[in-house]
């Protein structure tokens, strides 16, 4: 472990340093959060094969025992009924306090842990915009949102200045889970240890301030901004809060009112008792959380809706054979058909990677359905047919094999204990496998 880092932590923690240092030799806290839009708590605990213990950070979050292995290959995970997440990472969204019909912006969203948590709290209402400028990470984010079944979402790949200017004054809530030096993740990521330096910490702090400044533009008057990091450094935490409040007079600091963690450290210009810190001694890895409110009006950009489109009669008729679609809206981008409960929005020159539920690719006068149509938790009740698999058939399906199951004709959802894993196409005697090749598994719990 980097000695300079340890020296700084000893100065910060004083009498608690020995306990902190001992924690660095222990395994990371592991956690899993169930998706309440796909499964109930009792059902999850019944089907999940490992013992779980409730965390203090989030009602849906549980500690995982160290011996729990290959959780990512369990059908509950593959179906989007749960998400593996370090327990204290769920804390910032709890402090954000999302309500149904809120418009929420997750400004640094990949890989999607906090975005999926927000989307579950929105319950298909309001709007969630998830932004990630790094394209590879943005695709991981998109994959997780799709697996978890969320559709009232816009996934963007923009710099924060451009995005917040385009969406100025739109949002009730903004989360900035900022890129940081990652001191709290040293046990997980070697780079956080080997590349640690005070210069990097200062560079991160300056970047965090710029992202926060941009985030202010996106907020409505009265809107809430939550800032979080997974680092211990004062420069990236309390000092960022102090500098931010000094430079942004339209923002005030609010009390996090957390029932977990502890207060921050005293720094002039901010309220240390109003922020929340989480150390390994608090049963989580490193997290810092601060909360703000915008008290003045700023520039507001008009929300523009995209022109309504509709698939051809042939495509719509085919869709109706798959799903009894509720009233909603369509968009077509590069021959891909998308669906939303609310109208599609026009974000100008902002790079939009996904808006709504990807229903499928239109080829001439037909549609080749997409996995998202079946994994969507909103559309699940409207699917026309499904076939429930036992464990043996599920293993076949996840390997990409054809299922020798008769009587099903047309596209059908494939389920395990009621959870949709994917889909296939039956001809009356067999079901052809349509599970995406990139998701197929040879080893299943």
Q: How far apart are the first and last CA of the chain?
A: 35
CA dihedral 438, 420, 143, 128 (to 10 degrees): 170
**pLDDT, tens digit (0-9, with 9 covering 90-100), for 212-261:** 999 999 999 999 999 999 999 999 999 999 999 999 999 999 999 999 99
Hey, which residues does 30 pair with through a beta bridge?
Answer: 64
Tokens, residue 294: 């915008």
User: What is this structure's pTM?
Assistant: 0.96
CA 70 to chain centre: 21
pLDDT at residue 66, rounded to an integer: 83
User: What integer is the mean pLDDT of 390-413?
Assistant: 94
Residue 392: exposed, middle, or buried by beta-carbon count in 10 A (0-12, 13-18, 19+)? Answer: exposed
pLDDT at residue 132, rounded to an integer: 97
Rounded (5°) CA angle 375-381-387:
70
Catalogue all structural domains in the chain, each as residue range(s) with its CATH number: 90-294 (3.40.50.150), 304-382 (no CATH), 385-445 (3.10.450.720)
* Coil, helix or strand at residue 340: strand
Hey, which residues does 32 pair with through a beta bridge?
Answer: 62, 84
Looking at the chain, the whole-number percentage of residues with pLDDT higher than 90 is 89
366-369: strand order across its sheet: 329-333, 336-340, 357-363, 366-369
**pLDDT, tens digit (0-9, with 9 covering 90-100), for 312-369:** 999 999 999 999 999 999 999 999 999 999 999 999 999 999 999 999 999 988 999 9
Instruction: Return left, alpha or beta for 348; rule: phi > 0 is left, psi -120 to 50 is alpha, else beta.
Output: left
**Cis status of the peptide bond prior to 111, with omega within 30 of 0:** yes
pLDDT at residue 287, rounded to an integer: 95
CA distance 142 to 153: 10
**Closest-CA residue to 379 (of 361, 357, 354):** 357
User: What integer is the mean pLDDT of 52-67?
Assistant: 94
User: What integer is the mean pLDDT of 378-407?
Assistant: 95
The beta strands (E) that lie in 297-439 are given as: 329-333, 336-340, 352-355, 357-363, 366-369, 386-388, 409-416, 419-427, 431-433
* 189 in Cβ contact with 179 (< 8 Å): no
pLDDT at residue 189, rounded to an integer: 62
**3-class SS shares of the chain: helix, strand, coil, % to 5:** 35, 25, 40
pLDDT at residue 191, rounded to an integer: 54
pLDDT at residue 442, rounded to an integer: 80
Rounded (5°) CA angle 263-264-266:
120
Count Cβ atoms below 10 Å from residue 89 Cβ, excluding itself.
Answer: 26
User: Which of 159 and 66 is assigned the larger pLDDT?
Assistant: 159
User: What integer is the mean pLDDT of 196-224?
Assistant: 96
Give the chain's mean pLDDT: 95
Catalytic residue among 164, 230, 256, 276: 230
CA distance 144 to 147: 5
**pLDDT, tens digit (0-9, with 9 covering 90-100), for 274-304:** 999 999 999 999 999 999 999 999 899 999 9
User: Which of 192 and 310 is assigned the larger pLDDT?
Assistant: 310
pLDDT at residue 188, rounded to an integer: 65
User: Alpha-carbon Rg of the chain, whole angstroms?
Assistant: 23
- The DSSP secondary-structure symbol of 273 reads G
- 409-430 CB burial, b ≥16 within 10 A, e <16: eebbbbbbeebbbbbbbbeeee
- Residue 58 appears among annotated catalytic residues: no
* 71 in Cβ contact with 84 (< 8 Å): yes
Bridge-based pairing of strands 352-355 and 336-340 is: unpaired
């Amino acid at each position: 472990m980097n000695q300079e880092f340890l020296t700084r932590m000893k100065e910060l923690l004083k009498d608690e340093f020995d306990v902190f240092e001992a924690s660095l030799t222990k395994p990371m806290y592991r956690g899993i959060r169930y998706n309440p839009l796909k499964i109930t708590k009792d059902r999850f605990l019944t089907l999940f094969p490992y013992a779980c213990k409730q965390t203090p950070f989030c009602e849906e979050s549980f500690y995982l025992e160290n011996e729990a292995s290959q959780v990512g290959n369990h059908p509950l995970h593959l179906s989007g009924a749960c998400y593996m997440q370090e327990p204290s990472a769920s804390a910032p969204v709890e402090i954000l306090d999302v309500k149904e019909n809120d418009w929420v912006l997750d400004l640094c969203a990949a890989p999607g842990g906090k975005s999926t948590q927000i989307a579950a709290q929105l319950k298909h209402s309001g709007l969630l915009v998830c932004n990630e400028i790094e394209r590879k990470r943005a695709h991981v984010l998109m994959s997780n949102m799709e697996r978890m079944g969320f559709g009232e979402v816009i996934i963007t790949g923009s710099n924060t200045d451009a995005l917040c200017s385009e969406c100025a004054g739109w949002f009730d809530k903004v989360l900035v889970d900022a890129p940081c030096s990652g001191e709290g993740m040293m046990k997980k990521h070697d780079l956080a240890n080997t590349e640690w330096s005070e210069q990097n910490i200062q560079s991160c702090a300056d970047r965090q301030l710029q992202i926060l400044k941009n985030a202010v533009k996106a907020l409505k008057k009265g809107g809430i901004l939550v800032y979080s990091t997974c680092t211990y450094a004062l420069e990236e935490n309390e000092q960022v809060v102090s500098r931010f409040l000094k430079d942004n007079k339209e923002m005030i600091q609010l009390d996090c009112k957390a029932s977990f963690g502890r207060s921050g450290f005293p720094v002039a210009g901010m309220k240390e008792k109003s922020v929340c810190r989480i150390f390994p001694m608090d049963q989580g890895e490193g997290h810092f959380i601060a909360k703000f409110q915008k008290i003045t009006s700023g520039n507001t950009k008009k929300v523009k809706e995209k022109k309504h489109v509709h698939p051809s009669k042939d495509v719509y008729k085919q869709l109706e054979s798959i799903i009894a679609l509720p009233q909603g809206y369509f968009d077509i981008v590069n021959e891909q058909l998308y669906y939303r409960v609310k109208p599609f929005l026009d974000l100008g020159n902002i790079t939009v990677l996904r808006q709504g539920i990807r229903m499928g690719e239109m080829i001439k006068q037909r549609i080749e359905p997409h996995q998202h149509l079946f994994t969507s938790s909103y559309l699940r009740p409207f699917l026309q047919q499904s076939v429930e698999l036992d464990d043996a058939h599920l293993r076949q399906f996840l390997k990409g094999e054809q299922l020798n199951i008769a009587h099903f004709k047309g596209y059908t959802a494939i389920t395990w204990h009621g959870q949709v894993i994917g889909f296939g196409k039956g001809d009356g005697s067999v079901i052809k496998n349509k599970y995406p090749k990139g998701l197929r598994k040879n080893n299943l719990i």
